[in-house]
Structure 1
Amino acid sequence: MFIKNQFIQNKLVLHLMEQEEFELLTVSSNQEEYLLWKTNKRNVDIVRVSLKQYDWNREVEASVQQVEKNVLQNIQLPLFKQSLSFHHVFIVEYEPVDSWSNLMNRESAVNKIDHSFVYLCAKDRDEVLAHFFQKAHLHRSLAFSIPDNLFELEYQTETLKQKIQKIQKNEEKAILALFNRGKPRLSYLILAINIIIFLLLEYRGGSVNPETLIQFGAKYNVAMMEGEWWRIITSMFLHIGIFHLALNMLALYFIGTLVERIYGNIRFVIIYFLAGIAGGMASFALNPSIAAGASGALFGLFGALLYFGLKNPKVFFKTMGTNVIFIVILNIIFGFSVPQVDNGAHIGGLIGGFIASGIVMLPKTKAFMQQLIAVVVYVFYVFGLLAFGLTNEDVQYDETLQIHRIQQLIEEEQYEEVTEIVSSTLPYAKELEAELRFYRAFANIYLESFDIAKSDLETAVQHRPDFEEAWYNLALLYQQENEYDKALQAAEKLLDLNNEESSYQTLYEELKRAEN
């Protein structure tokens, strides 16, 4: 009797949802088949409760394989799942005509499924259901009696269906509520500010011009070491080139609005700026280059989504979890592969955003002690990065960074400071020792320390024999010291390097006349 099977089916489905914490995945339009799932740590159980009647063993097998393929194509499984078991419970009037015992211990033909079980509830219903409960590791027994009166049976069956629908609607409302806790106003505001500042950068000298970036507040370790820590905030609103801006603003549009909907407006902006600060501090500690961009804050938003996943793993993996984790891993790998990417800021912001999410917590969550611990962890994290950055001499005395600073100081005619910076940077020089010694010699010439300047230039041309400027200044110093043989040799070297430069030819002719 079909209505009797419907009653058993809905009784079982309702028990799985209410007592065993299964979630309804799908239900067929005629309510003939339900699909439910449950994740327990890294183990996933998927249960199919069907009223479909099959006459032959092969029809059951074909149905099982097709359903398993369809389910795996349409759901997101936990990324690090340990095992996946599929349970097909058929509540039918009779068993297939041919033998079906081989289905009880079958191996699934579908990849990723570790165990696949088939249960045919026909004659020995109670025994089969007990077997299913054992294989599915269900803890609460299901006991019920089937009404004898047909009208009562129909009424109770309909009541069970309505209860299932109500639970499903409540679950859907609860999930929707998680993603509608704030309208994404601040995301759009931050996006607009970034675009406006980018246009201003382009107007005032170009977004790829280092001088313009420094002037507008890019992360510049030299200035920060001198007290300009506000650059950690201002650099979050600067972008280097249109591609950099477009990529970050696209991420802010999609990820920022999502995080703002989940956490609400105030929590979102706190996470954004705390992550940006952490990312900026990590960049200061690990990256000597001039840097700018919202990447640290944006990776912090990924950290906020990961924190959401930690607190709501079922919803997370049911909706976006695998995609979020994949994007984060892909970006980190990309960052390590491309030297120009500030991977320190990315990872620093990701961690900072995760911790910041623990500080603000999800809406309607009260955990004062956890929040306090998160505040302490964040403070230690940021100041730990600061302490490491201040003592990381390989970064703070990076030769490229210091040469940029030296060029500025020479323009300002601060020659004594130039000599001090070169002297402190030379022990860490790897490729630009010749350039550093050239600049120190240049400063010492103006300071009239000619012997030191001559020594630096001699060392510079040893490291870089094609260093024309160093040879030229060295020739002039030899000429001034009346060392005409050495001066002439230096001038001849200049002409070997570049015989089209008129000043080199003039110097050579002067030295030849002086020698004669």
Structure 2
Amino acid sequence: MYIKNQFVRHQLVLHLLEQEGYETITTSSNQDEILLWRKMNRMTNIVRISLKQFDWARELDHSIEQIEKNVSKNLQLPLFQKEVNFHHVCIADYVPVDNWQQHKASNIKAIDHTYVYIWASDQDEQFARFFKNAGMKHPLSFSIPEQPMELEQHAQYLKQRIDHIDYQAKKEVADVFNKAKPILSYVLIAINIVVFVLLEWMGGSTDPDTLIKFGAKYNPAMMEGEWWRVVSSMFLHIGVFHIGLNMMALYFVGTLVERIFGNYRFIIIYFLAGISGGIASFAFNANVAAGASGALFGLFGALLLFGLKNPKIFFKTIGMNVIFLVILNIIFGFSIQQVDNGAHLGGLIGGFLAAGAVQLPSMRKSWKQILFLFGYLVYSFGLLYYGIQNDQIQYNETVQIQHIQQLIEAEQYQKVAESASQSLPHAEEYQAELLFYRSFANIQLGNYKKAEKDLEAAVEKKPRFEEALYNLALIYQQEQKLSEALEISKKLLDLDQDNSTYQSLYKELTKTTS
């Protein structure tokens, strides 16, 4: 009887694989259990075909509960499924002695319906019920050989066909994930670590000036033509936690993408995603920024494209983990102010488009590649244009004050005046400081009237602004407005009566006006 049951099981499994589009999930070591599944029209049917004999309904119930629990725990079901049904097909010598058909509904949340069928003593109506519930499109018809030897030979032949189909399916998955050895991922990790050590040695990876010097994304410099920072910033990281997290992601995600897409496709995706992420950061984030996050999110984008091209393999292997990580990182980014969401989302979209431009090794189609490349170029240049026009970001008062201080150190006073003028219309908190810096630049350029006007406006906005008051007093003194200068010197002493510079100015002005 066991050989007969095997023959029937093999016929059913082969029919599901060849005619109905099912795939094997697992087989037990003794071949008594086979799990298959099929996703169609937002409905997933999972089929368990068992040769185990159940004497009592409670044994069957316990077996069903254990199998469904294990499957729901280990199987990555596709997202947005309308219905998930579990079909338990038992091919046995006889049915349980009690009422097995009163099986209770599944208590597993992921499973909507549980169906049980027991084929025993040629009860073909059980297969008919199974085919109807599972929505099969093709009927199953076979005859069972009467001679034991012939039956065994046919069963063995069917098993070989099943094993071959299963082998080909596994080989297809293995081939997808082994297009190349992940050499370039390791090279990128090594370069990033070397650059990080150099940063720490030359001033510290958390020091803004050191980051800017080594090529971090710095909007004021990029607006002056240093667009190479979009690439160089990909190799800089801010602190040990930052590089540790990114290199871990590059080790796991980078090597996976390189295995799927191949070496040169991987490096193209990595750099194009990093560039689009850097441009997005330039467009939406005024602060100094660095890191490989844009490129890494681009690798997630490449995996999403892979999922669209190979949904069965994607969801059977890495799909749910990839989608979960993308959603988690996006939520994390919007929850923490310091995270550069522009770079993350910009890299994600850029990586998706870049992956479409290079395509998977086995799916090269020139017209699709051209379309994706065109989309990438429109997307990136659109971001760049928006970023250049986004004055609120490019003339952010905090960043511009930092930039102005660097220009003063370089004695580029004309640029100081220009930067302050461009930033003032967008300033809210630091208008007085910007006016002061512009006045300082105009003093150095000999434009004393302009400096006087800016200093007057600065102290009007910030009456206790000592540096502005002092410089204004000096200008008044130079222009022989001695009474105004004396009045300001008195204010300075009220603010800081122990300041020797203020005391000297007050004494000098008192003597001059007396």
TM-score calculated relative to the size of structure 2? 0.95
Rounded Cα–Cα distance in structure 1 between residues aligned with 2:428 and 2:466: 20
Unaligned runs of 5+ in 1: none
Provide the C-alpha distance between the structure 2 equivalents of 1:486 and 1:429, rounded to a whole number of angstroms.
29
Q: Distance in 1 between matches of 2:113 and 2:486?
A: 87
Instruction: Give the match for residue 446 of structure 1.
Output: 444
Q: Which moved more, 1:303-312 or 1:402-411?
A: 402-411
The one-letter code matched in structure 1 to 2:472 is L
- Residue 435 of structure 2 corresponds to 437
In structure 2, the residue matched to 1:274 is: 272
1:410 equivalent to 2:408? Answer: yes
Task: Give how far 1:150 is off.
Answer: 0.9
Q: Contact 2:14 / 2:162 at 8 angstroms: preserved in 1?
A: yes
SS at match of 2:328: helix
Matches for 1:20-419 after TM superposition, within 5 Å: 20-103=20-103, 106-123=104-121, 125-419=123-417
- What amino acid maps onto 1:59 in structure 2? E
CA contact (8 A) 2:51 2:90 kept: yes
- Matched-pair identity in %: 59
Report the alpha carbon displacement of residue 449 of structure 1 after superposing the two structures with TM.
3.3
- Paired with 1:153 and 1:211, the residues of 2 have a C-alpha distance of 81
How many residues of Structure 1 are paired with residues of Structure 2 in the alignment?
514
Question: What CA distance in whole angstroms lies between the structure 1 residues aligned with 2:100 and 2:120?
Answer: 13
CA shift for structure 1 position 147: 0.5
Match of 1:457 in 2: 455
Partner of 1:3: 3
CA 483–24 in structure 1, closer or farther in 2 if over 3 Å, else same: same
Does the C-alpha gap of structure 1 residues 284 and 128 become closer, same or farther in structure 2, counting only changes over 3 Å?
A: same
Kindly report the root-mean-square deviation, in angstroms, between the aligned alpha carbons of the 2 structures. 2.0
Deviates more, 1:452-461 or 1:165-174: 452-461
Partner of 1:477: 475
User: Would the alpha carbon gap of residues 160 and 212 (structure 1) be closer, same or farther in structure 2, given more than 3 Å must change?
Assistant: same
- Could you tell me how far apart the structure 1 residues matched to 2:487 and 2:159 are? 100
Letter in 2 for 1:368: S
1:282-338 deviation per Cα after TM superposition (whole angstroms, max 9, x unaligned): 112112222222111111111111111111112111211111111111111222222
- The verdict on how the C-alpha distance between 1:496 and 1:82 changes in structure 2, with shifts beyond 3 A counting, is farther
In structure 1, what is the Cα distance between the partners aligned to 2:9 and 2:495?
Answer: 91
Measured in 2, the distance between the counterparts of 1:237 and 1:394 equals 27
Deviations 1:229-270 (CA, angstroms, capped at 9, x unpaired): 222122212222232222211211111111111111111111
In structure 1, how many angstroms separate the alpha carbons of the residues matched to 2:275 and 2:349? 11
Residue identity in the other structure for 1:338: I
1:283 and 1:55, CA in 2 relative to 1: closer, same or farther beyond 3 A? same
Distance between the aligned counterparts of 1:501 and 1:86, measured in 2?
A: 84
Q: Which amino acid aligns with 2:33?
A: E
Q: Which moved more, 1:331-340 or 1:365-374?
A: 331-340
> Once the 2 structures are TM-superposed, how far is the Cα of residue 345 of structure 1 from its aligned partner?
0.9
Out of 92-101 and 502-511, give the one that drifted further: 502-511
Q: State the Cα distance separating 1:124 from its structure 2 match.
A: 5.9
Deviation at 1:404, TM superposition (A): 2.4
**Alpha-carbon offset, residue 488 of structure 1:** 4.2
- What amino acid is the match of 2:256? L
Once the two structures are TM-superposed, the CA of residue 489 in structure 1 deviates from its matched residue by 4.2
- CA distances 1:199-230 after superposition (whole Å, capped 9, x unpaired): 22233333233333233222222222222222
Contact kept in structure 1, 2:101 and 2:116, CA below 8 Å: no
Hey, what's the Cα distance between the residues in 2 that align with 1:133 and 1:496? Answer: 94
- Name the TM-score, length of structure 1 as normaliser: 0.94
